[in-house]
Amino acid sequence: MPLLPQSLFGRLLLFLTSGLVLAQLLSAAILLQDRDQALYHAIGGHVAQRIAAIVNLLDTLDDAERRRLVTALDLPPTRLSLDLPWQSETEPDERYHTTLFRALLKRQLGPDRPFQLEINDDLPPPPPPTHRPRWNSSERPDGVTRPPPHERMQAMMLGLRNFVVQIRLRDGAIVTFQQVLPEEVIAWPARLLLILLVLLVSVALLVALAVRTLTRPLSILADAAAELGCDIRRPPLNETGPLEVRRAAQAFNTMQQRLIRYIEDRDRILAAVSHDLKTPITRLRLRTELLDDSPLRGKFQADLDDMQRMAQASLDFLRGGEYTEPMASLDLNALLECLQEDAEDAGQEVRIASVAQQPLLCRPLALKRCLSNLVDNALKYGHRAEITVADTSERLVLTIRDDGPGIATTALQRVFEPFYRLEGSRSRDTGGTGLGLSIARNIARAHGGELTLRNHPQGGLEAVLELPR
């Protein structure tokens, strides 16, 4: 998935943090719901008890005294009225809050007292208030008063909202109670939300630290594996940390020691083979000098030169993965100019299109051999070479282009195989052992870089050598 982080650290952090945030949101929802129900039980019971007390008192008074008492008690958040008609019965509301509050009212008023209850956001217009309302209400065309949207949303969060209760007195009069919850009741519990936020941030930081601690050994192991290709004798990994990390470090160090022993054994075998090959070739060369037939002597000497060149090239290729030459700072521009002068002395053309901005840390002799092989190939098969240097803070890219016929696309990778040779202009008649590009790529990879070939759109072949800074 393209939206997922590429690193293991990023993915683990994303998954764990997402799960933590989801858990916190669910916890907050459950806590707020429990808080709402507790508030509803407490507030609903208190309001029902107060309504019942007022109704019982109004039953004992005449009309004039009732109106004086209603006027005295008509104060926010509870509004009272004796002039509103009995509202027509609506569809029964089976919600939890409505059912509970209806049960509380019936318990306080008694089973024989007729009343009706509606809990919603639309309130009937109250009688002319003696005090200014808590909010600036807006009149709708149907005459129903609605609180401002932000306070209505807060009331809906609690679930209790606003309610209207109409109760019929003993003499048939109707008293209407219009209740609006106070703002401090319906407001979000800031302290609880702050605690949840602090908990979320704290656990998220601990998760990030834990994930970083767990993924750090993998990053170290990956870096060590990448460095191993450039320096087989790099320092071993520290075998510390959890059991799995220690086992991975031990396995990596064991592998490194085995590779070192294998390379040392191979070097000893190569040295012995080199000595054993050079000795008979030298003896044959000396015996060739004793031949009287000059044409035959020349053929023997040519065959011996081919044998020595092929043996030396094979040994150089086998040594390509291991370089004991130390790393040093190299003036690449001077090296390219040296290669250019050598080609011009041989009557060939090498052009340098740009220059490097700063010295390069490398194995100078190995890099010189790599570039020499590439330039020799360009001159041999394209008759001229053009070197372009692209230098950045991270990578150095050298492009060697020739004017030859190029290579078939299917063979661009096969030419790096040892002893692989192309037909046509790159046949055995042109010389070479088929190891030049293989050796050049081994040198590039030993420096942590890469060597690739591509056909130029305007003709010719390009060898692209990329080296890290």
Residue 318: what pLDDT?
Answer: 65
Least confident of 6-10, 20-24, 437-441: 6-10
For the CA atoms of 146, 148, 154, 159, the dihedral, rounded to the nearest 10 degrees, stands at 10
- Is-contact 456 401, C-beta < 8 A? yes
Instruction: For the domain covering 328-468, report its CATH number.
Output: 3.30.565.10
Burial of 270 (0-12, 13-18, 19+ CB in 10 A): middle
Instruction: Give backbone dihedrals phi and psi of 25, rounded to 5 degrees, phi first.
Output: -65, -40
Summarised one tens digit per residue, pLDDT across range 228-247 is: 877 788 889 888 888 888 88
Distance of alpha carbon 337 from its chain centroid, rounded? Answer: 45
pLDDT value at residue 91: 67
Q: Where are the domains of the chain?
A: 8-190, 229-322, 328-468
Report in angstroms the alpha-carbon separations of 112 from 31, 61, 81, 165, 168: 38, 20, 22, 16, 11
* Contact criterion met (CB below 8 Å) for 49 and 108: yes
Kindly tell me if the per-residue pLDDT of 422 is higher than 80.
no
The pTM for the full model equals: 0.47
DSSP track, 77-140: TEEEESSSPPPPP------HHHHHHHHHHHHHH-TT--EEEEEES-BPPPPPPSS--SS--EE-
pLDDT at 437 over 50: yes
Residue 229's SS3 state is coil
Distances (CA, A) of 236 to 33, 228, 290: 58, 10, 57
Higher per-residue pLDDT: 189 or 143 = 189
- The mean pLDDT of 282-311, rounded to a whole number, is 79
156 pLDDT exceeds 60?
Answer: no
Of the pLDDT bands very low, low, confident and very high (cuts 50, 70, 90), residue 202 is confident
Nearest-angstrom CA–CA distance, 223 and 221 = 5
Distance CA 264, CA 276 (A): 18
Q: For residues 177 and 181, what is the distance between their CA atoms, to the nearest angstrom? A: 13
Q: For residue 307, give both structure tokens.
A: 């044998």
The pLDDT of 35-54, averaged and rounded, is 82
Average of pLDDT values for 8-15? 80
Q: Which CATH number fits domain 229-322: 3.50.50.60, 2.40.100.20, 1.10.287.130, 3.30.70.20?
A: 1.10.287.130
Give the Cα separation of 44 and 37 in Å (integer). 10
Contact call for residues 322 and 355 (beta carbons, < 8 A): no
Comparing 255-259, 278-282, 344-348, which segment has the lowest mean pLDDT? 278-282
What is the per-residue pLDDT across 358-388, written as a single tens digit (0 to 9) for each? 999 988 888 998 999 999 989 988 888 999 9
| DSSP-based three-state secondary structure for 403 | coil
Note whether 447 and 320 are within 8 A (CB): no
Q: Tell me the C-alpha distance between 55 and 222, whole Å.
A: 81
